[in-house]
Amino acid sequence: MITLQRTRLAGLQRKAAQQLRAGFGGPWWSRSSRILLLLAGFFIGSNLTVHLENATGARTFSAFFALIACELLVVLRRRSPWLDYLRLGFVYAVVLEAFKVGS
């Protein structure tokens, strides 16, 4: 087996792998609920931006409402840490929509 040298990149990769293992470790119901929350956040974020743009007719207002929704998830995260996964999926969807629009 080839071992990695002790470089900063190897340390960063090791830390990232440990955080992924810790984040998605645990019982099956915990892992599946985290993945479902990520997917639900992605679904909400992708639909919210499209429907708000159609309802308001302006991208600026839809981005503003998406920002408000994201900040509400940050405030509510203090009460429930599970909402962090919902927020992560939401932010990923909004960023992906921004890349699709080209802005």
pTM, entire model: 0.67
∠ CA 83-46-89, nearest 5°, is: 30
Residue 14, amino acid? R
Q: Kindly state the tokens that stand for 15.
A: 């830390």
pLDDT tens-digit profile of 77-98?
888 878 888 888 988 988 888 7
pLDDT tens-digit profile of 11-48?
899 999 888 887 777 788 888 888 899 999 999 888 88
Residue 98 to residue 69: CA distance in whole angstroms: 16
Q: Which has the closest alpha carbon to 40: 102, 100, 84, 78?
A: 84
DSSP tag of 2: P
